[in-house]
């Protein structure tokens, strides 16, 4: 699996087959069926997860976050990359490209 340092703007992300998700009130809980672990996502993490479900690229994710949140693009890119790296390390998302 490529590290976040090697991801390009065209790197796409999709949910792993081993993860289930449920949400309520702007928060999402991910369940790793294989490992039996739960992971909680806040509002921004939930938005990133929604975009991952559509197979979005890193650039698309950052573009959407920039349009929806009042934060500098560099911060949004760093935060999205960090979350995606954690999800990829835990095998909750597949990295494509």
Q: Measured in whole angstroms, how far is the alpha carbon of residue 47 from the centre of its chain?
A: 8
**So where are the chain's domains?**
15-90
Mark out the alpha helices in the chain (DSSP H runs): 43-53, 58-68, 73-89
Sign of CA dihedral 9, 40, 87, 74: positive
The topology under which CATH files domain 15-90 is Arc Repressor Mutant, subunit A (1.10.10)
pLDDT less than 50: residues of the chain = none
How high is the pLDDT of residue 10? 86
18-35 pLDDT, tens digit per residue, is 999 998 888 999 999 999
CA–CA gap between residue 18 and residue 25 (Å, rounded): 24
Per the CB < 8 A criterion, the answer to whether 92 and 32 are in contact is: yes
């Amino acid at each position: 699996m490529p590290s976040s340092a090697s991801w390009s703007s065209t790197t796409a992300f999709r949910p792993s087959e081993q993860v289930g998700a449920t949400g309520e009130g702007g928060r999402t809980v991910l369940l790793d069926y294989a490992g039996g672990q739960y992971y909680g996502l806040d509002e921004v993490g939930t938005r990133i997860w929604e975009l991952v479900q559509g197979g979005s690229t890193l650039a698309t994710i950052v573009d959407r976050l920039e349009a929806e949140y009042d934060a500098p693009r560099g911060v949004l890119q760093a935060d999205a990359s960090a979350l995606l790296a954690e999800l990829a390390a835990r095998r909750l998302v597949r990295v494509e490209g």
